[in-house]
């Protein structure tokens, strides 16, 4: 199942313009998000003049996608009530930078804590997914960088926009999948002076974290994931057996998180079957539908999609602005095609063993679930699994305190793991 050592990817593979190769600027430059008057004027015009959507079906709520009857409320709010200047200032309240890695300008947040004597600062790389952004972590970052009772360490937090997302440049040629992004993330951390560090990810960030914990096992001190999935022969066979006899694979009270498989396969086909419009109204409808159903699947039965159940309108539109202001919706979605390409599928990162200590945070309404014995088929050093009776796909954004508490708990276990190994 584990065929020797993982593949070695080119650490200098170039993803930018060819004429810039050999002229790499390795400086780290301050960055500010800017909502220009021209952009705001154009955005408001598009929101005010979007084509009226076809009426929704009676009683369908969000079960056929975003409820078209609610679209006008959101477009009006974005255009007339969203406080652009105030939100721009908020988004710039955390220090941000840009540096060029392998030909691409990579945008990232970096927050260093102030600590008292005897407290260790450890580096933590946080990675978002689609259709999220660095905005998911704004509420969690102050908690991660503040000394917490019961812990003798605190985090220096680095939160990059993935290549092609937000204010990070997208590749100019095909091939940039999650494994290659893992190389870029590792090179970013090395650029910032961190040769060994902890990683955390959800959605695409979880898949990138898995790649990093496979490719760079001597550098990753621990991996915390809120969507830890193992894809290898063992996990696939177990999943299929569980379709017929769930009790052999998963505890009865958790079985509905995995089975029936038809329920989840049909749901995912439904999710990926819709094309995006190039209008802000279309983008809003597509992305906010994910923040509805991926937070609670039953929110699809609500007329308003339950969007403000845990999020405010400003929080959700902040995330939309990360895509609209940077014009990155197209480049962000290319990651789906890149990761499914024959070249990147052939890497088959899932079949390689990893000795990196790992920790899984499993929200009740996460899109995917695997029991610990399936995860251990790859991660023998799975040190902990936190099973929540609440929460969804965007757990750091939805429940930042719960998320942060679990990250601290995991990293404490990782540090003890390495200490014990050293003592032995």
Contact 406, 383 (CB under 8 A): no
CA-wise closest residue to 289 among 139, 75, 131:
131
**Which of these is catalytic: 336, 373, 390, 418?**
336
Distance CA 127, CA 209 (A): 8
Q: Render the burial of 312-339: b for 16+ CB within 10 Å, e for the rest.
A: ebbbbbbbbbbbbbbebbebbebbeebb
DSSP symbols for 32-96: -----HHHHHHHHHHHHTPPPPPPPPTT-TTBTBS-HHHHHHHHHIIIIIS-HHHHHHHHTSS-E
Q: Is 336 a catalytic residue?
A: yes
**Token reading at 262:** 């038809």
Distance between CA atoms of 260 and 242, rounded to whole angstroms?
9
Q: Render 202-232 in DSSP notation, one character per residue.
A: -THHHHHHHHHHHH-TTTEEEEEESS----S
220: left (phi over 0), alpha (psi -120 to 50) or beta: beta
Residue pair 382/359 in contact by the 8 Å Cβ criterion: yes
What tokens were used for 160?
A: 């990059």
d(CA 181, CA 164): 10
Nearest in space to 386 (alpha carbons), one of 408, 419, 417, 367: 408
Catalytic annotation, pick one of 50, 224, 393, 406: 393
- How far from 153 is each of 26, 310, 381, 399, CA to CA, in Å? 30, 30, 22, 22
Cα–Cα distance for residue pair 82/84, rounded to 1 Å: 6
Q: Is 203 a catalytic residue?
A: yes
Strands 104-111 and 96-101 turn out to be: antiparallel
Assess whether 393 carries a catalytic annotation.
Answer: yes
Residue in 203, 210, 318, 406 annotated catalytic: 203
Positions of E strands within 78-203: 96-101, 104-111, 120-127, 153-160, 197-201
The catalytic residues are 203, 336, 393
């Amino acid at each position: 199942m584990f065929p020797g050592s993982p593949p070695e990817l080119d650490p200098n593979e170039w993803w930018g313009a060819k004429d810039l190769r050999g002229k790499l600027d390795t400086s780290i430059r301050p960055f500010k998000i800017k909502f220009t008057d021209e952009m705001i004027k154009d955005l408001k015009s598009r929101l005010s003049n979007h084509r009226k959507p076809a009426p929704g079906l009676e009683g369908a709520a969000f079960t056929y996608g975003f409820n078209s009857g609610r679209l006008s409320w959101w477009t009006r709010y974005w255009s007339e009530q969203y406080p652009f200047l105030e939100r721009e200032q908020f988004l710039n309240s955390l220090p941000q930078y840009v540096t060029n890695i392998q030909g691409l300008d990579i945008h990232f947040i970096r927050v260093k804590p102030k600590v008292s004597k005897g407290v260790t600062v450890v580096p933590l790389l946080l990675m978002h997914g689609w259709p999220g952004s660095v905005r998911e972590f704004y509420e969690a970052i102050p908690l991660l960088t503040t000394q917490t009772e019961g812990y003798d360490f605190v985090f220096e937090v680095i939160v990059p926009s993935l290549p092609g997302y937000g204010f990070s440049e997208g590749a100019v040629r095909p091939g940039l999948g999650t494994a290659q992004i893992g190389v870029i993330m590792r090179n970013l951390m090395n650029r910032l002076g961190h040769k060994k560090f902890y990683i955390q990810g959800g959605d695409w960030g979880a898949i990138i974290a898995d790649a990093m914990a496979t490719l760079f096992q001597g550098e990753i001190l621990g991996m915390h994931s809120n969507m830890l999935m193992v894809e290898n022969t063992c996990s696939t066979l177990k999943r299929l057996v569980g379709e017929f006899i769930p009790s052999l694979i998963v505890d009865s009270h958790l079985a509905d998180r995995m089975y029936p498989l038809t329920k989840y396969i049909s749901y995912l086909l439904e999710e990926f079957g819709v094309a995006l419009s190039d209008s802000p109204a279309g983008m809003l409808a597509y992305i906010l539908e994910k923040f509805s159903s991926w937070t609670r699947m039953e929110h699809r039965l609500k007329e308003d999609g339950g969007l403000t159940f845990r999020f405010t309108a400003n929080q959700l539109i902040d995330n939309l602005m990360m895509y609209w202001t940077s014009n990155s919706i197209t480049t962000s979605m290319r990651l789906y095609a890149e990761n499914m390409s024959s070249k990147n599928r052939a890497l088959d990162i899932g079949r390689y063993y990893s000795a990196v200590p790992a920790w899984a945070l499993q929200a009740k309404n996460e899109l995917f679930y695997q029991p610990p014995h399936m995860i251990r088929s790859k991660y023998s050093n799975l040190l902990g699994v936190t099973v929540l009776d609440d929460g969804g796909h965007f757990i750091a954004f939805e429940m930042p305190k719960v998320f942060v508490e679990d990250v601290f708990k995991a990293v404490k276990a990782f540090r003890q793991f390495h200490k014990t190994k050293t003592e032995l």
